[in-house]
Amino acid sequence: MKRISLLSAFLCAAAVLGFASAKQEPSRLTIYSLKGPSGVGMIKLFETPPNISNTQVNMEALASSDLMAARFIAGEAKVGILPPNVAAKIAASGKPVQVAAVTGLGMLSLLSGDPAVKTIDDLKGKTITVAGQGAAPDYVFRKILVAHNLNPDLDVKLDYSLAYPEIAQSLIAGRINLALIPEPFATMARQGNENLAQVSDIQAEWEKAGGQENYPITTLVIDARFGKENPAAVETIMTAVKNSIDWVTANPAEAGDLVEKYGLGIKASVAAASIPRSNYTFIDANTARPALTSLYKTLLEFAPDSIGGHLPADDFYY
C-alpha cells in the first residue's frame, strides 16, 4: 500500500509539474504588415518585434490587403494594417474588428508630362491613369474633380488599366503623361523622368473639397475580442508601431535598407528618397475619427458598398 501511495504521489506531482510547464509555454502572435508603401512605417518591428509578456511575437508582410482581409475574416489575424475602407467593410460584415490607429495619411501626387496641364482645371478632356479602382484614392480624386466642376465620368477619362509600378515605368518612358500615383512610385517616376511636374497638391485639394484634414490611407486594425482580452498587449503594440514610425521618418536611409532587407518590394534608395514625402504618422483612433468619418462619408457618396453601406458604429474605434 505504501508503494502504491508513493507512486500515486509521484504521478500527481508529475502531472502538476507538467501542467505548470504547459501553462508557461509562450503563446504566439503574428503582427501582419503589408508589402509595398503601407508596410514601410512598421519596418523597424521586423528587426525588433514588440516585447509582450509570455508571447512569441512574429512579423509577416502579406502581398495584398485582400490577403490581410481574408485573415481577419477567418479569425487568424489579430493585429495588422489595412486600408480604412477595407477595415470598415469587414466590420460591416459582422466581423468584430476595430481601428486602433491611423498609420498613414494621403501621399498622392498628380504627375504631368503634358506642359498644357498645370492645374486641376486643365484636366478637362484629358486621360488620367489612376491605380486602385474602387480604393480610397480613386474616390478622393473624384471628390476633388467634382469640387472643380469636372464630372469624373464625362469631363475626363480615368484609366485604371495599370498597377502602381507599371504607372511609374510608363511615366518614365513617356507612354502616359498624366497619372495619379502614391509614394514611393511618384518618387520613382520623377527620378526617372525629370520632365514630370506635380500638378497642385492633392492633399490640400482634398481639404479644399471639404475633406476633414488629410485623409487616412492606412490603419492599424485589431480583432476586437483580442483587444478586449489583451489591453496591455495592444498598448505595447501601439507604442511599438508609433516608435517604429518615428524612427522611420527620422532615419529614412536606414529604414530604406531594412525595407529592402525584409522584402517589402521597394529598393532601399527609392524607399529612402520617398519616406520624407510619404506621410507616415501615428494617430490613435479616437483622435483620427473625424478624418476617418470624412473619408467614409465620401465613400458613401461615391461607393457605399466599399465600406459596407453605412458609417461604422462607435465600437469600431478602439
In this structure, are 226 and 147 located in the same domain?
A: no
In this structure, are 227 and 252 located in the same domain?
A: yes
pLDDT of residue 24: 54
Residue 11 falls within a domain, yes or no? no
Residue 277 falls within a domain, yes or no? yes
Bridge-partner residues for 99, per DSSP?
221, 317
Cell of 26: 509562450
In this structure, are 54 and 93 located in the same domain?
A: yes
Mean pLDDT of the chain: 90
pLDDT of residue 197: 94
In this structure, are 124 and 194 located in the same domain?
A: yes
| Mean pLDDT, residues 156-183 taken together | 94
Q: Give CA–CA dist 168/145, Å, rounded.
A: 22
Q: What CATH number is associated with residue 192? A: 3.40.190.10
Residue ending a domain, choose from 158, 187, 208: 208
pLDDT-derived band at 134, boundaries 50, 70, 90:
confident
Torsion-angle region of 265 (φ positive above 0: left; ψ -120 to 50: alpha; else: beta): left
In this structure, are 242 and 310 located in the same domain?
A: yes
DSSP secondary structure, the chain, as one string: -HHHHHHHHHHHHHHHHHHHHHHHSPEEEEEEEESSGGGGGGTHHHHS----TTEEEEEEEES-HHHHHHHHHTT--SEEEE-HHHHHHHHHTT--EEEEEEEEE--EEEEE--TT--SGGGGTT-EEEESSTTSHHHHHHHHHHHHTT--TTTTSEEE--S-HHHHHHHHHHTS-SEEEEETTHHHHHHHH-TT-EE-S-HHHHHHHTT-SSSPEEEEEEEEHHHHHH-HHHHHHHHHHHHHHHHHHHH-HHHHHHHHHHTT-SS-HHHHHHHGGGS-EEEEEHHHHHHHHHHHHHHHHHH-GGGGTSSPPPGGGB-
Residue ending a domain, choose from 173, 189, 208: 208
| Mean pLDDT, residues 115-128 taken together | 95
In this structure, are 97 and 231 located in the same domain?
A: yes
pLDDT of residue 25: 63
Q: How far is CA 262 from CA 62, 116, 176, 267, in A?
A: 12, 42, 32, 11
Confidence check: pLDDT of 129 > 60: yes
Residue 2 falls within a domain, yes or no? no
Residue 146 falls within a domain, yes or no? yes
pTM: 0.86
- Residue 297 structural domain: 26-105+215-316
In this structure, are 151 and 289 located in the same domain?
A: no
Residue 3 falls within a domain, yes or no? no
pLDDT-derived band at 60, boundaries 50, 70, 90:
very high
- Chain segment 174-190, per-residue pLDDT in tens: 999 999 999 999 999 99
Q: Give CA–CA dist 66/72, Å, rounded.
A: 10
Q: Residues 6 or more apart from 309 whose CB is under 8 A from it?
A: 92, 300
* One-letter amino acid for residue 61 of the chain: A
Torsion-angle region of 174 (φ positive above 0: left; ψ -120 to 50: alpha; else: beta): left
In this structure, are 126 and 114 located in the same domain?
A: yes
In this structure, are 121 and 201 located in the same domain?
A: yes
In this structure, are 96 and 119 located in the same domain?
A: no
pLDDT of residue 213: 78
Residue ending a domain, choose from 153, 173, 208: 208
Q: Give CA–CA dist 79/26, Å, rounded.
A: 18
| Mean pLDDT, residues 77-100 taken together | 96
pLDDT of residue 136: 84
**Which is more confident, 230 or 4?**
230
Q: Give CA–CA dist 235/241, Å, rounded.
A: 10
Percent of all residues in the chain with a pLDDT value above 70, rounded to a whole number:
92
In this structure, are 228 and 201 located in the same domain?
A: no
pLDDT-derived band at 34, boundaries 50, 70, 90:
very high
Angle at 63 between CA 59 and CA 66, to 5 degrees: 105
In this structure, are 54 and 83 located in the same domain?
A: yes
Residue 1 falls within a domain, yes or no? no
Residue 225 falls within a domain, yes or no? yes
pLDDT-derived band at 211, boundaries 50, 70, 90:
confident
Count of structural domains within the chain = 2
| Mean pLDDT, residues 268-276 taken together | 94
| Mean pLDDT, residues 229-256 taken together | 97
